[in-house]
């Protein structure tokens, strides 16, 4: 048995009008092949090039160890110089990932290598983020706290993403007061006996090659799997309407702080309570 996933539509190029009408308004994902064709990044962005620009800056690293109550939301597991991290990625498979690396802040000159695509949505110019992963590393199934529309570009290798619309949340064993589903689910090969609700979820699968982009609509769940070591850039655009904006504000202002407070007060008990609650969702 497998997850019920359909291939995301793929276009080589797209006009503003078509993007808005066929994908943004109905909130449907799409892979766009040529958005980076005119960028320097398409030819230049590789591990070697980025390592030369970022140099010995120390970067925070994440892995797939389960959430630990003694750590805050999004706290890294290790730190390393960027050059050493790239050496490691080139040498062997590793779980260690860079998550949310703010390019503009860290290395402003990389900004010259790409443009915000003109496809009818307003990108948040200060927030282009880079992500790096070793071969076969994965990012837990999650959705983004700010409920924005994402354009996710991939470089230096191949990546597979699984996406689910917000309508499928009820089948995904979401952890309360969090943005993730149960960390012990292997979305690449789920155990349906243990996680039967997953059989009802309808989602999408995406395969990205160097220079390709996938549009991930707001609130969409995403699970990333680096088939080869590589890196990606996400450009984000604000949520479309008041409803989505209020979910974003609830997540940022209330949910995150409440969760941090409960971790402090109740520690491991709080995490166990949340994990159990996620299992008990019966649909
Ligand atoms: O691909 C990754 O490493 C993470 C990307 C991601 O979660 C995002 O862009 O929101």
Residues touching ligand 1 (Cβ under 6 Å) are 97, 131, 133, 139, 144, 150, 152, 222, 224, 232, 234
SS3 at position 221: strand
Dihedral sign from CA coordinates of 144, 248, 28, 41: negative
CA of 214 to the centre of ligand 1 (A): 11
Predicted pLDDT of residue 276: 87
Residue with CA closest to ligand 1 atom 9: 234
Q: How confident is the model at residue 281 (pLDDT cuts 50, 70, 90)?
A: low
CA of 131 to the centre of ligand 1 (A): 6
Across 70-74, 86-90, 204-208, 247-251, least confident range: 70-74
For residue 65, is pLDDT > 90? no
Say how many Å lie between the first and final Cα of the chain, rounded: 19
Phi, psi of 80 (to 5 degrees): -155, 160
155, 160, 224, 235: residue to mutate for ligand 1 pocket, most atoms within 8 A of CB: 224
For residue 69, is pLDDT > 70? no
What average pLDDT is seen over the chain? 92
Predicted pLDDT of residue 148: 94
CATH number of the CATH domain containing 108? 2.60.120.650
Atom of ligand 1 lying closest to residue 224 CA: 1
pLDDT in tens, 5-14: 999 999 999 9
Predicted pLDDT of residue 283: 62
Residue with CA closest to ligand 1 atom 10: 144
Atom of ligand 1 lying closest to residue 142 CA: 7
CA of 152 to the centre of ligand 1 (A): 8
Residue with CA closest to ligand 1 atom 5: 131
Q: What is the DSSP letter of 107?
A: -
Predicted pLDDT of residue 73: 57
Q: How far is the C-alpha of 274 from the C-alpha of 17, rounded, in Å?
A: 43
Residue holding tokens 């390393």? Answer: 80
Atom of ligand 1 lying closest to residue 236 CA: 9
Atom of ligand 1 lying closest to residue 222 CA: 7
For residue 39, the cross-strand partners are: none
For residue 191, is pLDDT > 60? yes
Across the range 61-70, mean pLDDT stands at: 76
Q: What is the pTM of this model?
A: 0.93
pLDDT in tens, 206-242: 999 999 999 999 999 999 999 999 999 999 999 989 9
CA of 142 to the centre of ligand 1 (A): 9
207, 208, 222, 248: residue to mutate for ligand 1 pocket, most atoms within 8 A of CB: 222
Residue holding tokens 């799409």? Answer: 30
Predicted pLDDT of residue 166: 97
The C-alpha R_g of the chain, in whole angstroms, comes to: 19
Distances from the Cα of 59 to the Cα of 55, 77, 82, 96, 276, angstroms: 10, 11, 6, 11, 34
Looking at the structure of the chain, the number of domains it has is 1
| Domain of 203, in residue numbers | 4-279
For residue 6, the cross-strand partners are: 204
């Amino acid at each position: 048995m497998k997850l019920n996933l359909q291939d995301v539509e793929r276009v080589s190029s797209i006009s503003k009008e078509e993007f808005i009408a066929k994908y943004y308004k109905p909130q449907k994902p799409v892979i766009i092949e040529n958005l980076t064709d005119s960028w320097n990044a398409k030819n230049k962005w590789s591990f070697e090039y980025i390592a030369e620009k970022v140099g010995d800056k120390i970067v925070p690293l994440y892995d797939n160890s389960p959430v630990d109550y003694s750590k805050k939301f999004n706290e890294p597991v290790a730190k390393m110089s960027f050059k050493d991290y790239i050496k490691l990625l080139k040498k062997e498979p590793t779980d260690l990932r860079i998550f949310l690396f703010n390019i503009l802040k860290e290395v402003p000159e990389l900004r010259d290598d790409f443009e915000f695509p003109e496809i009818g949505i307003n990108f948040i110019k200060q927030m282009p983020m880079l992500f790096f992963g070793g071969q076969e590393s994965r990012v837990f199934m999650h959705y983004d706290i700010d409920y924005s529309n994402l354009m996710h570009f991939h470089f230096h290798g191949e990546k597979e993403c699984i996406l689910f619309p917000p309508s499928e949340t009820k089948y995904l064993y979401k952890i309360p007061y969090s943005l993730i589903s149960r960390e012990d689910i292997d979305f690449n090969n789920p155990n349906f006996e243990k996680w039967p609700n997953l059989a009802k979820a309808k989602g999408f699968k995406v395969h990205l090659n160097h220079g390709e982009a996938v549009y991930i609509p707001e609130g969409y769940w995403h699970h990333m799997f680096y088939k080869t070591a590589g890196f990606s850039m996400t450009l984000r655009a604000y949520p479309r309407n008041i409803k989505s904006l209020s979910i974003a504000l609830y997540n940022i202002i209330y949910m995150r702080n409440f969760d941090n407070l409960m971790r402090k007060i109740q520690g491991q008990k709080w995490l166990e309570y949340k994990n159990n609650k996620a299992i008990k969702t019966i649909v």
